Amino acid sequence: MIRTSLLSAAALCALLSAPGLASELRIGLQDDADILDPHQSRTFVGRIVYTGLCDKLVDLDKDVNIVPQLATDWTTSEDGLKLVMNLRDGVVFHDGTAFDAAAVVYNINRAMTLPESRRKSELASVSGIEATGPLQVTFTLKAPDSSLLAQLSDRAGMMLSPAAAEAAGADFGQNPVCSGPFRFVERIQQDRIVLEKFADYYDADQIKIDRVTYLPIPDTTVRLANLRSGELDMIECVAASDVAGVREDEALNSQESVGLGYMAIYANVRNGDRANTPVGQDARVRQAFSLAIDREALNQVVFEGTARAGNQPFAPTSPWFNQNIPVPARDVEAAKALLAEAGLERVAVEVQHANNPVVTQMMQVIQAMTAEAGFDVTLKATEFATLLSEQTAGNFQLSRSDWSGRPDPDGNLHQFVTCEGGINDPKYCNPEVDQLLNEARATSDNAARKAKYDAAGEILNRDLPIIYLGHQTYVFAMDKGVEGFEAYPDGMIRLKGVTDAD
Evaluate whether residue 36 is within a structural domain: no
CATH number at residue 244: 3.40.190.10
- Of 137, 168, 199, the domain-final residue: 168
- Is 367:350 a contact under the CB 8 Å cutoff? no
pLDDT above 60: residue 21: no
pLDDT digits (tens, 9 = 90+) for 394-432: 999 999 999 989 989 999 999 999 999 999 999 999 999
Same domain, 144 and 13: no
At residue 351, the pLDDT reads 98
Q: What is the CATH number of the domain that holds 309?
A: 3.10.105.10
- What's the rounded mean pLDDT across residues 199-203? 97
243 lies in the same domain as 288: no
pLDDT beyond 70 at 150: yes
- Last residue of a domain, which of 140, 168, 196? 168
- How many Cβ atoms from other residues are within 10 Å of residue 93's Cβ? 25
Residue 426 in domain:
yes
Mean pLDDT of 119-126: 94
- Compute the distance between CA of residue 62 and CA of residue 255 in angstroms, rounded to an integer: 13
Judge whether 310 and 468 are in contact, CB under 8 Å: yes
For residues 374 and 269, membership in a common domain is answered with yes
Mean of pLDDT values over 279-294: 98
- How open is the CA angle 184-190-194, to the nearest 5 degrees? 20
Give the CATH number for residue 71.
3.90.76.10
40 assigned to some structural domain: no
Say yes or no: 324 and 445 in one domain.
yes
* One domain for residues 467 and 481: no
* Residue 135: C-alpha distances to residues 72, 153, 180 (Å): 10, 19, 18
Percent composition of the chain: helix, strand, coil (DSSP 3-state, to 5): 35, 25, 40
Same domain? 485 vs 441 = no
Bridge-partner residues for 468, per DSSP? Answer: 264
Is residue 430 included in any domain, yes or no? Answer: yes
Per the domain annotation, does 173 fall within a domain?
A: no
Residue 440 covered by a domain: yes
Pair (193, 287) in one structural domain: no
pLDDT per position as a tens digit, 326-385: 999 999 999 999 999 999 999 999 999 999 899 999 999 999 999 999 999 999 999 998
Range of the domain at 148: 54-168
Same domain, 366 and 455: yes
Please classify residue 300 by burial: count the beta carbons closer than 10 Å to its beta carbon, then call 0-12 exposed, 13-18 middle and 19+ buried. Answer: middle
- Claim to verify: residue 288 and residue 299 sit in the same structural domain: yes
pLDDT at 324: 96
Note whether residue 356 is domain-resident.
Answer: yes
Please report whether residue 41 resides in a domain.
Answer: no
Once rounded to an integer, what is the mean pLDDT over residues 174-180? Answer: 97
pLDDT in tens, 58-85: 999 998 899 999 999 999 999 999 999 9
286, 413: one domain: yes
277 and 420 housed in the same domain? yes
Distance between CA 421 and CA 247 in Å, rounded? 41
Confidence class for position 18, pLDDT limits 50, 70, 90: very low
Could you tell me the pLDDT band of residue 501, with boundaries at 50, 70 and 90? Answer: confident
Q: How many domains does the chain have?
A: 3
How far apart, in Å, are the Cα atoms of 363 and each of 214, 244, 351, 399? 27, 23, 8, 10
Share of the chain above pLDDT 70, in %: 96
**Which 8-state DSSP code applies to residue 178?**
-
Q: Note the pLDDT of residue 55.
A: 98
Which amino acid is residue 451, in one-letter code?
A
Do 416 and 336 reside in the same domain of the chain? yes
Amino acid found at 202: Y
Mean pLDDT of the chain: 94
